[in-house]
Structure 1
Amino acid sequence: MIRPLLMCFVLCVVSGSSKPTEKKSRVHEEEPLSHLEHDDHKNYDYDHEAFLGQDEAKTFDQLPPEESKRRLGIIVDKIDTNKDGFISEDELKNWIKLAQKRHVLDSMEHQWKDFDMNDDGLISWDEYKNVTYGSYLEDPKTDTEYNYTHMMARDERRFKVADRNGDMIADKQEFTAFLHPEDHDHMKDIVVQETMEDIDKNGDGFIDLKEYIGDMYAAVKEDDEDPEWVATERQQFSEFRDKNKDGKMDKEETLDWIFPSDYDHTEAEAKHLLHESDANQDGKLTKDEILNNYDIFVGSQVTDFGEALLRHDEF
């Protein structure tokens, strides 16, 4: 059985443990283009994951330059959907979005077999509950440091929202919404609710400045000096998060915070790749321009083909 703690980590909207001085982000950009730092001065790893998808980028990392270029050429032909011989910004953007969706679907498929216990192509709430919380249900422990009853109720609430027809049985589309709620408009309210429950320590239904900062940063000692970014976040809260200036964030303000609508990361990455590779600055890319800059799009780190060369039939 899957331990509840593990599934809490998998399903939690924001996961991972942070060092005291590190900033923890609640902001969602649908499925992240990459979890890596975007710093082209160091490497193009972020661009590789954004362009190829996180799983496919690992495959290309194992290929020599000649094979990377060959496979990239095949990908370029797929991106050029109108077959005019050029890659436009919109075509590049659509391809990056496709890579995002592919990663989400692969994640769902990977977990699907763990929960579809009767192999009927559906996952009921009882199946999910028994696989995830079976050990706890068989032997509830009142002295555990984890409130599994609360975790299970929270999962059930999210499951009900993802279950569009209300039968408490999820098909693959509904289960994907359950696992990745930030990618589905009808799930955003539950993401906001879960976020506020996590941060709202005094239970008043709002997020005040102390709770906002406390969620991102906790000093080890009371007299520890705050990192510089903490002061910036205090200013951000006062000037931008708390729109009505009442000293706290309500549901609408929290929604605007964690689902910002003023910045499209996919569009920004498409513009970046275009700018870096458009040698003649005509606003579109030829196949040669992309292949001449293959290191930006796919890169290559080793010369051992290994199993990666034979992994995908399309190549």
Structure 2
Amino acid sequence: MLGANLFEPYLAHERLFGAVVQNAKEIDANKDGLINEEELTTWLDKMARVNDLPRAAQRLELCDANRDSELTFDEYTRCTYGVGENQLLRTTAGDYHHGFQFMHSERIRFDAADEDRNHRLSIKEMAMFLWPQHYSSMEEMQASMVLAMMDSNHDMAVTFDEFVSEESGGQKLPGLVDSAMDHFLHMDKNQDNQLTTDELKPWFTPSLHNTIKHEAKILIEKIDLNGDHLISLEEVEDAKKTWSVPAPRSNFQPIREEA
């Protein structure tokens, strides 16, 4: 089933909670002893991407066969799948749904990340390619790929039947159909009984920033004891005593995991 690739909620909140109480003084940007929603959102937004560039640089160095500090799609496929682009296409062409279609989506994602259109990825572009959900410039590409997968009659829109088929895995069981109908009606903003790319985008590629703002509100509610919608450093100390705080991980990514 397609949808936002979020952490399992309990684990997400526990990891976020632990990271916030351990780093409260850093989050308090103006050093007034209080953390407001804007400060917490800014810090979480930074932490969501903090490891993207170092990890992208490691991957690029591993796969950069000609050592020009950029990555071609052929270098990527050789490093990732063991064969070049042309050979991989020949290998997967006989199994369109599980091979060729995936290969095609990889190419689309690569081209979308290639901002300067030089057919090679820099470290920043590599980060966008590996974690497109972290970058708003990649949202259009992700929504277009979802539409292409669902749009069986290639009319650039998704009908209810097409949506149900994808959401239910082809099994038209009553419960699955009802759930798919609820999702479809929620997304069909203009009520024309079909979904466009713009209508699909908020559902399948929710804004990382908006997701983080939502998490920030939840965390403030959890730690704020006096109801002023702020987190004082004293409340953080109380939270440490009340809750079991897991140690933050070095590769902390509060919202989404790497694909």
Superposition TM-score tier, normalisation by shorter sequence = 0.7 to 0.9
Aligned residue among 151, 154, 158 for 2:109: 158
What is the CA distance between 1:196 and its match in structure 2?
Answer: 0.9
- Match runs of 1:190-229 below 5 Å: 190-218=141-169, 224-227=173-176
Q: What percentage of residue pairs aligned between the two structures are identical?
A: 23
Q: Distance in 1 between matches of 2:243 and 2:43?
A: 12
What is the CA distance between 1:207 and its match in structure 2?
Answer: 0.9
Matched, 1:234 2:184: no
Q: Where does residue 19 of structure 1 map in the other structure? A: none
SS in 2 for 1:166: coil
Aligned residue among 6, 10, 14 for 1:48: 14
What is the CA distance between 1:289 and its match in structure 2?
Answer: 0.9
> What does the per-residue CA deviation read over 1:58-82, in whole Å, with 9 as the maximum and x for residues that have no partner?
xxxxxxxxxxx8xx2xx22211111
Q: Distance in 2 between matches of 1:170 and 1:143?
A: 25
- Shift in alpha-carbon separation, 1:285–1:142, aligned structure 2, 3 A: closer
- Shift in alpha-carbon separation, 1:237–1:296, aligned structure 2, 3 A: farther
- For the 8 Å contact 1:116–1:122, the answer to whether it is kept is yes
Matched, 1:117 2:65: yes
SS in 2 for 1:245: coil
- Shift in alpha-carbon separation, 1:118–1:96, aligned structure 2, 3 A: same
SS in 1 for 2:35: coil
Matched, 1:37 2:3: no
In structure 2, list runs of 5 or more residues that go unmatched: 252-259
- For the 8 Å contact 2:111–2:119, the answer to whether it is kept is yes
> What does the per-residue CA deviation read over 1:130-157, in whole Å, with 9 as the maximum and x for residues that have no partner?
3234437458447853564544443233
Q: Where does residue 76 of structure 1 map in the other structure? A: 24
Aligned residue among 127, 135, 139 for 1:188: 139
Matched, 1:178 2:129: yes
What is the CA distance between 1:243 and its match in structure 2?
Answer: 2.6
Q: Distance in 2 between matches of 1:268 and 1:256?
A: 15
What is the CA distance between 1:208 and its match in structure 2?
Answer: 1.1
> What does the per-residue CA deviation read over 1:257-314, in whole Å, with 9 as the maximum and x for residues that have no partner?
33457x932222212221222222233222221122127887249xxxxxx99x89xx
Aligned length: 247
Root-mean-square deviation (CA, aligned residues, Å) is 3.4
TM-score (norm 2): 0.77
- Shift in alpha-carbon separation, 1:192–1:297, aligned structure 2, 3 A: farther
- For the 8 Å contact 2:168–2:180, the answer to whether it is kept is no
- Shift in alpha-carbon separation, 1:233–1:104, aligned structure 2, 3 A: farther
Q: Where does residue 15 of structure 1 map in the other structure? A: none
Q: Which has more helix, going by share of residues? A: 2
Q: Distance in 1 between matches of 2:170 and 2:103?
A: 31
